[in-house]
Structure 1
């Protein structure tokens, strides 16, 4: 078997707390996962589950307190800031909010050319690359001369995707990249992610609170609950026949058009929430 592009083993993330001798607060409790080249791993969970922290740890934006992260066979767990900057050519990110992730004072062309110029590209070559990127994400070439405020949310997210693609990465961490968009725009942007993956072979770590979104785009899914991956497997298996009560609750949270069936879903969610609470109490008692 081919070695994975990215592997996390026993990954833990803890943040320091103000106060004398107060121990750090652990947010992620030893998770394991792998991402192959050209593959999408969806990480899904409710707000506060720790899913975004996992992505930030991979990017070096959250403090790894335990375990290890390997990229292309290299241990990047304790990379310095300089080593991280070099690695950013291969690992990029698309953030959640297309309105705040772009510099409002820079044209789209300047935004896309900036990381290329920093890497030593000459201006003419960077300009050609910018035009290619705009075409790749379905934006007109004249967009290069315009400012972010002249674009819709979906178009801005296309610019953010183009910026992530600029250095030719092998892995992109996608942190809730469609959650700020309306439903029709979400579908268009997700299809764009899929098309780009087919064309370039880039891998995605796709973080979302929406199981339907993750189901649409992912090859495999990891379900995060209270800082742990409680279920992981092929997308169809996890989203069609989930084993863990928390995953079942996420699946039932998706609304459907049938009022009777929707009422039954609400009742099932209440039952599963009670079951999960009971299991959590038992786990707390076992650790006490």
Structure 2
């Protein structure tokens, strides 16, 4: 396996107000890897630490211990200046397409901005904008429109196009479809899969929904209170979960069948997970 991203025994504390306050440990010894062209789904409830891990990979949160290596190079504690060239290789798609795009900028300017920042000429950037819009299935005339003129799914397509502008090797997808309706979710997920097949980009796909992540991931890692409690292939984790917390996440996913939904609620009542249970099974 050609490892692209390697996270080793990563720990992270957020400071707490007060001289005697013990800083909470948000990440507790996280170890995982992502191969070139692979999608790793990172799943957990709010507060599990999954978004913090994504922020650490992006250089937006400072680890307390451990290491993050990208393409063999240690990027754990890079300064902003030294990290800037990494923008070409590591990009992000944020959760909310309504707030992640500058409402005062036309789509052409939004997509050209990272290219110009990396030294491209205005003419080259304009040519790339047309190609990016085509790649995500938007018409050429979208370039001269503003984000408010698009639906949520279309805005997320613009966000995906922006993340692809510099031809990255890894994209951190932080809940990229959670703000979308189910039909639009499916279209955006299919788009991400098609782009990966075409470009070979790797994804760290962060979500709370195991049903969503099963659709796009090669492997899945499940987080609970800052720890990984289960990892494995997408098929194994979603069809035969070994941890009670993972089973609860599966049962929490909605289904259109009311009888099946009622069964899931009953099963969840019998699978009340305690911290002791989860931590014991993860070791």
Same-fold call, TM cutoff 0.5:
yes
Deviations 1:7-57 (A, max 9, x none): 101111111111124232111111111100000000011111111111111
Tell me what 2:48 maps to. Answer: 49
* Structure 1 residue 265: Cα displacement: 1.9
SS in 2 for 1:6: strand
Tell me what 1:108 maps to. Answer: 107
Structure-1-length-normalised TM-score: 0.94
After superposition, the Cα gap between the structure-2 partners of 1:201 and 1:23, relative to the gap in structure 1 and judged at 3 Å, is: same
SS in 1 for 2:242: coil
CA distance in 2, matches of 1:151, 1:17: 41
- How do 1:1-288 and structure 2 match up within 5 A? 2-273=1-272, 276-277=273-274, 279-280=276-277
Further displaced range: 248-257 or 92-101: 248-257
2:41·2:217 contact (CA, 8 Å) conserved in 1?
A: yes
SS in 1 for 2:271: helix
2:243·2:278 contact (CA, 8 Å) conserved in 1?
A: no
After superposition, the Cα gap between the structure-2 partners of 1:163 and 1:258, relative to the gap in structure 1 and judged at 3 Å, is: closer
CA distance in 2, matches of 1:94, 1:225: 23
CA distance in 2, matches of 1:31, 1:203: 19
* Structure 1 residue 153: Cα displacement: 0.5
After superposition, the Cα gap between the structure-2 partners of 1:260 and 1:105, relative to the gap in structure 1 and judged at 3 Å, is: closer
CA distance in 1, matches of 2:241, 2:277: 19
Structure 1 spans left out of the alignment, 5+ residues = 284-288
The alignment covers a number of residue pairs equal to: 280
CA distance in 1, matches of 2:260, 2:176: 30
Deviations 1:263-286 (A, max 9, x none): 33222211111xx22735996xxx
Tell me what 1:286 maps to. Answer: none
Cα RMSD of the aligned pairs, angstroms, is 1.5
CA distance in 2, matches of 1:223, 1:282: 12
